[in-house]
Amino acid sequence: MFSPEILLGAGWYPEENDGIHAFRWMKKEANFFIKNYQVTGRKYLLITAAGHADPEEQHVILELYINGQKKGEKEIDESFCSYAFPFEETGNIQFDFALNKTFSVPGDGRQLGIMLRRMEFIKASETGIFLEGWYGWEFDDLFPFRWMKKKAKFNLSTEHKRKQKYISFYIFSEFHDFSQKLNISLHDSALSEITLLPKWNFYSFPLQLAPSVKKEQMNPESEMAADRPRTDELNLSLNRVLPEEYHQGDGRQLGIRVSYPEFHDHDETHRLFMFFHKNALLNYQEMREGKTKLASFPLNLGVDLYGKCNIYPHCVYCLWERMKELEGEYAEVNVDERTLEGYGHFFQSARLVINCSFGEPLLHLRFGEILEFCQEQKKILEISTNGQSFTPRTIQALLGKPVYLYVSLDAACKDTYAKIRNDRWDSIIPHLKLLNQERKKKGNLPKIYMVFMPMRVNLGDLEAYFQLCQIIEADSLVLRPLNYLENPQIEADRGGYHFDYEKELLSSQELEEVFWKCDEYSKKYDVPVANQFTFGKTEELVSNGTSYLSPEKQRF
């Protein structure tokens, strides 16, 4: 992007701030100027603006005139959104805005039109720019993203399109019934139409017209436009958006969440995506039909990365000895990125790779290589750790990776920790703080989920655990159940405490009290809660703004 000096003319009120962003109110008409502007060819004026709600539902229309000639008009959303106006003028340029309506607020004598947060200019040579139909940047459980409206555009330089064959990005669809479809077109010619998968998924789209699209089928105006220096507008459109009842209080038109676009020319990457997508649709169809013999592969892949643990004696509630007996000769089998690749279609079809091992995965000598491989293959990795294996090596390996990192502490102080594990509490928290500090430089990845299993031994630590989550800026506190075992026969003396598994289990009434307290502490410390006691349920349970879902579960 380039930023010529903008000289404001008439029609603007002084700059204000909403607590996050600066903006200016515009009157019904306003203008600004740029001088001696020598960038030739096609450019865009890109603005971020918001209108206002109108009980009569009369849309706010913004017209742009450049040196007296009308260049376009846009319907302005009541929430801040991006809008792009193409132009080719150079030299001294006057930009005039005109609105079809204004409004007033009691006690405020101003003539209020729209709020302008930002104005910038885009060169034709720039690519991958969010042009219009996009709301501002946000962050969720995995990627930074922008909400897309029902229709939106990317800027794509002609030169860049010639060099790269595909555009790719992660998309989050809220629809679990596979009913949402995305259409991508260029010059009014369809490039791709695809059924969107629920949650975050990687997508790869061709930037070239299919061979079946003959030259005479192209829009003549588009063909002539391609003969002159310009940018291409990649058009995205959805068949449906999120129903309003699922985002009450948010007046935006919410379609999908889209991460940063990237470009590549790797045919194999695109082929693997197409295989993954085809399998996912087939898996969904077979599951809906209740088939017991599947032609598709599962979308989640459970693996045992590492079978050794660094805590001995093992955690007081752990079934270590029993599990190792069951694993038998396979207890110490080495699993690494080469093993994952050897899983073939099972790995290629997986969206989420979940480490299910009775062991500490951060101890793996090829931990970094495994994470790199999963990231390259566009897989999301879910790992649980006891937190005692953080080192500069493991922290560096985790940074910037799409990893759900579950840190199982179950205690908020040294004394309680000693009763269920050992005396290594003091070495854990500094490393968690360091991990959080460093991940901010890498897209806030990995995601940190602090696990707390409510038991009699740690009930007094519940509020302090929220405080700990706040200190290390955890993405969520995860409530995980101490599973019911028939005749567990698990007892241990640790840290001056006698742990009896059967007696540590809480009654349903006691658990309800824990959930109620979590509501209270979640609001008090601004720490989200994911309650895995509801694992397997399809409906979303929300109480006072606290979601009782695992971080992976979403609306539909």
Pick the residue with more confidence: 57 or 422?
A: 422
Q: How confident is the model at residue 113 (pLDDT cuts 50, 70, 90)?
A: very high
| pLDDT beyond 80 at 231 | no
Residue 100 is predicted with a pLDDT of 93
Residue 211 is predicted with a pLDDT of 56
Q: How confident is the model at residue 55 (pLDDT cuts 50, 70, 90)?
A: low
Contact at 8 Å (CB) between 417 and 497? no
Residue 545 is predicted with a pLDDT of 34
Q: Which residues contact 538 (CB under 8 A, 6 or more apart)?
A: none
Domains 1-123 and 125-296 agree in fold: yes
All structural domains of the chain with their residue ranges: 1-123, 125-296, 300-547
Q: What is the mean pLDDT of residues 379-405?
A: 95
Q: How confident is the model at residue 459 (pLDDT cuts 50, 70, 90)?
A: very high
Q: Which residues contact 353 (CB under 8 A, 6 or more apart)?
A: 300, 301, 303, 340, 347, 374, 379, 380, 381, 382
Q: pLDDT tens digits for 61-87?
A: 999 999 999 999 999 998 999 999 999
Residue 57 is predicted with a pLDDT of 65
Residue 552 is predicted with a pLDDT of 43
What is d(CA 181, CA 197) in angstroms, rounded to the nearest whole number? 9
Q: Domain 125-296, what fold?
A: Jelly Rolls (2.60.120)
Q: pLDDT tens digits for 137-171?
A: 998 878 899 999 999 999 887 666 667 899 999 99
Residue 124 is predicted with a pLDDT of 73
Residue 58 is predicted with a pLDDT of 73
Rg (CA), the chain: 28
| pLDDT beyond 50 at 551 | no
Q: Which CATH superfamily is domain 300-547 in?
A: Aldolase class I (3.20.20.70)
Q: In the chain, what is the greatest distance between 2 CA atoms, to the nearest angstrom?
A: 85
Contact at 8 Å (CB) between 532 and 480? yes
> Which residues lie across from 275 on neighbouring strands?
none
What is d(CA 370, CA 335) in angstroms, rounded to the nearest whole number? 9
Range in 49-58, 118-127, 209-218, 283-292 with the lowest mean pLDDT: 209-218
Q: Which CATH superfamily is domain 1-123 in?
A: Galactose-binding domain-like (2.60.120.260)
Q: Record the pTM.
A: 0.85
Q: What is the mean pLDDT of residues 503-527?
A: 96
Question: DSSP labels for 379-437?
Answer: -EEEEEE-SS---HHHHHHHTTS-EEEEEE---SSHHHHHHHS-S-HHHHHHHHHHHHH
| pLDDT beyond 50 at 243 | yes
Q: What is the mean pLDDT of residues 290-296?
A: 95
Q: Percent of the chain at pLDDT above 70?
A: 90
- Length in residues, the chain: 556
Q: What is the mean pLDDT of residues 476-482?
A: 95
| pLDDT beyond 70 at 224 | no
| pLDDT beyond 90 at 344 | yes
Residue 352 is predicted with a pLDDT of 95
Pick the residue with more confidence: 20 or 243?
A: 243
Here the tokens at position 508 are 């349903």
Q: What is the mean pLDDT of residues 32-55?
A: 87
